Structure formats: C-alpha cells, structure tokens
Structure 1
Amino acid sequence: MKMLKIKDVVMVALLTALYFIIYNIGGMAAMVFGPFGHAISPGICGLLCGVIMYFVSRKVGKFLQFTLMQAIVMILFSIMGAGYIPWVITSMVAAVIADIIASREAKPAVWKLAVASGVFHVGQALGSIIPSMFFMESYKEDWIARGQTPEQMDAMIKCATGIMGVLAVVVVFVLAFAGIFVGHAILKKHFAKKELQAA
C-alpha cells in the first residue's frame, strides 16, 4: 500500500479544484429538480466527475487520495460559508471508506472504484439526510440563520427523510457508480496507450 508523496498531493489538489468547479455546476443543474435535486446533487457530481476520480485512481493510485480530495472540497465549501460539521463528518468518514475500498492497490478493478465513488458521494449526501432525520430542528435553525427560508428548509427536509431520503441515497450511489464507468470509457484508451509506451 503506497502513501501519498508531495507530487501526488499537488496532483490531487489540482484535480480536486477541477472537481470542485464541476461540483458547483452540477449543483446548479440539480436545482432543476427542486429540493430533491439538492438531495441528489452529490450523485450528479459523481456522474459528471467520474472521469476525474478515475484519473486520480489511475494516475496517483495511492492510499488516502480520496480522503485528501474530500478534505479539500470541505475546506473550499467552508471558505465559501457552506461548511457544516455533520456534513464534514459524513463526507470524511465516507472518503476514508472509499480509500479502503479502492486505494490500497494502484489499479483497482473498475467495479471496485465505482463502489468507492458511490460511497464517497453518498457520504456527501448524508450530510443533509442524517441531520434531517435525527436532529431536524437544530439543522433547520442553523440554515435559516444562514439565509435559507423556513419554507426552503421544510422542502429540503421533506426530500431528505423517509422514503425520499432512502431514494436519494440510492440515486446518489447509482449515479456516482455509473460515473466511474463513464470515466473508464473515456480514459481507458489513454491509459492503455501510456502502458504500451512504458513497456
């Protein structure tokens, strides 16, 4: 199991910056689906950014690569004023699990990487689903204080609890899972050519 070096950290940071830009574009696109779009926005990001996560896995291929990615994303969102402790916790725990699944070997199977991506992005989704289910009032008060209206929070909580919450988790996982196969389809020739050149 190889650990990250300085050059790997720089590579992951640069790719995470691109991931973050696409994440925000995907988040805006998700608003077309209303409050449920907010609940599944990490999945839309996972679908769009599968190519980035695939590239990180094949180009870096070191343990904690996804944990570093998630940490950078959380820091950037916190700088923007969108940091939220439960979200950080669920996201970081999921990122560590994703690394355990797919970062202990340099070139994990595509399905294994897809599972890791699913877990990685479900962790982000749980940042609103878990508070909605277990400490709704404090969650609601926190975000109303940040500028959300009570009506907006009620709509988002409705889409993150009960059957809708379960559906959101499933949709996020499936979209993020599929994103890796999209990335594989786009990049497999590129990496096959690199391997031939190296040989």
Structure 2
Amino acid sequence: MKKLKMQELIFTGVYTAIYFLLVSIVMVVLKVAVPVFDSLLLPAASALFSGIIYLLMLQKVPRFGGISVMGGVFGLLFLVTGHFPMSFVPSFVCAILADFLQYNWKINEKIRTTVTYIIFSFGLTGPLLPMWFMKNAYVDSLIRRGKDADYINYVFEPITQIGFIICVVSVIVCSIAGIYIGRKLLAKHFQTKR
C-alpha cells in the first residue's frame, strides 16, 4: 500500500510538471501571437491541449488528491510570483472541487470527467477574475508594485464585459474539445477506455 501511494505521488509530480511545462509553452506562444489578449486566452488554450494530461492523471492516480495537487501548484505559483493576492483562490477551489466531484459524483463517467475538467480548467483564470471583480484593489496593487498608467491601461485593455464572456465560453468549449482530444489520444496510444 505504501508503495502504491509513493507511485501515485511520483505520477502526480510528473504530470504536474508536464502540465506546468505545457501551460508555460502556451503562454509564450500567446504572448508572441496575441500580446494584448494572451492572459485572456491562456486558460482556454491550455485547456485545449491539457486534456490528455488530465486523463493520464486520472488513470495513474485514481483517487482524491492528484487533481488538487496539480491545480494547487498553480495557486502557489500565483501566490509567490507577485500576482494579485486573491489570484491563487480559483486554482485551489477549482482543483479541489474537480477532485471531489471526480471521485464522489455518481453519474456517467465521461460526463463526470468532462465536467470536472471544465471546472479544473477554470483554475487558470485566477489572475484574471480579480481584474473584473476587484478592479480598484487590483489597480492599487499594480501601483504599489511601481507600474505606471500606460502599463495598467495595457493590462486592462481586454478586461471588458465582452472579454469576460469570451473567457468563460472559450474555457468551456476548449475544455470539452481538450478532453475529447485527450480521449482519442489515450484510446490510440494508451489503450484505455476512459
């Protein structure tokens, strides 16, 4: 039993590292391709390509904990890398909720996994949500960090009502597409039924 738990911990670390690497690559590509809207599109673009990682995590760590750790790592990164103080909350909440539902919600497995992946994917909206819902506090935190008005205007350019709708809808759509692609890849390369 101890060996199994150690293996699960190792798999969690490996898939968390792969997820981090993939999100980092997506972030760099978006910064070059769409510099103003990169942060707005990051959660959706990451969800599109991370479905396989999520499914592999479920396959190798079939119990509560793995999803929470994977999302929680990003929460910690947001906390220690100078993001707005509340930016870490969605990462933790979405990851723990997805983890809990994945192993306690008694519905069709494919539907459950798709829904939990959508929830998990919203964890990357952590740095964005305070910009819509706590704008004044966010601006004050940027000023305290020495950012000028031009930088603040640049950061808030895509933070509109339409931008919010685009962010939410794109995360849902790309999560569904990402989990679909992930299932196809698993069926082809890992011979799994998930």
TM-score of the alignment, normalized to the shorter chain, above 0.5: yes
Tell me the CA shift for residue 77 of structure 1.
Answer: 4.8
For residues 54 and 158 of structure 1, the distance between their equivalents in structure 2, rounded to whole angstroms, comes to 35
Structure 1's 39 and 193: CA in aligned 2 closer, same or farther, altered over 3 A? Answer: closer
- The residue type equivalent to 1:71 in the other structure is G
1:128-155 C-alpha deviation (Å, 9 max, x unpaired): 12x1222212212323544655334334
Tell me the CA shift for residue 192 of structure 1.
Answer: 3.1
TM-score by length of 2: 0.82
Structure 1's 144 and 163: CA in aligned 2 closer, same or farther, altered over 3 A? Answer: same
1:99-110 equivalences under 5 Å are 99-104=99-104, 109-110=109-110
1:89-123 C-alpha deviation (Å, 9 max, x unpaired): 11111111111222348xx7233222212111213
Question: Is 2:75–2:89's contact at 8 Å kept on the other side of the alignment?
Answer: no
Unaligned runs of at least 5 residues, structure 1: 195-199
Structure 1's 177 and 155: CA in aligned 2 closer, same or farther, altered over 3 A? Answer: farther
1:65-80 equivalences under 5 Å are 65-79=66-80
1:150-169 equivalences under 5 Å are 150-169=149-168
1:19-168 equivalences under 5 Å are 19-31=19-31, 32-79=33-80, 81-104=81-104, 109-129=109-129, 131-146=130-145, 149-168=148-167
- The structure 1 segments of at least 4 consecutive aligned residues displaced by more than 6 Å after TM superposition are none
- 2:7 maps to what in 1? 7
Unaligned runs of at least 5 residues, structure 2: none
For residues 104 and 113 of structure 2, the distance between their equivalents in structure 1, rounded to whole angstroms, comes to 11
TM-score by length of 1: 0.80
- The residue type equivalent to 2:75 in the other structure is M
Q: Count matched residues.
A: 188
- 1:178 maps to what in 2? 177
Tell me the CA shift for residue 161 of structure 1.
Answer: 3.3
For residues 67 and 16 of structure 2, the distance between their equivalents in structure 1, rounded to whole angstroms, comes to 10
- 1:187 maps to what in 2? 186
Structure 1's 5 and 136: CA in aligned 2 closer, same or farther, altered over 3 A? Answer: same
For residues 127 and 134 of structure 1, the distance between their equivalents in structure 2, rounded to whole angstroms, comes to 11
Aligned-residue sequence identity (percent) comes to: 25
- 1:197 maps to what in 2? none
Relative to structure 2, which stretch is displaced further, 117-126 or 96-105?
96-105
For residues 146 and 134 of structure 1, the distance between their equivalents in structure 2, rounded to whole angstroms, comes to 20
SS at match of 1:5: helix
For residues 15 and 45 of structure 1, the distance between their equivalents in structure 2, rounded to whole angstroms, comes to 14
Tell me the CA shift for residue 181 of structure 1.
Answer: 1.1
Tell me the CA shift for residue 78 of structure 1.
Answer: 4.5
Tell me the CA shift for residue 85 of structure 1.
Answer: 2.9
For residues 125 and 155 of structure 1, the distance between their equivalents in structure 2, rounded to whole angstroms, comes to 18
1:72-93 C-alpha deviation (Å, 9 max, x unpaired): 23334555x2444312111111
Question: Is 1:36–1:168's contact at 8 Å kept on the other side of the alignment?
Answer: no
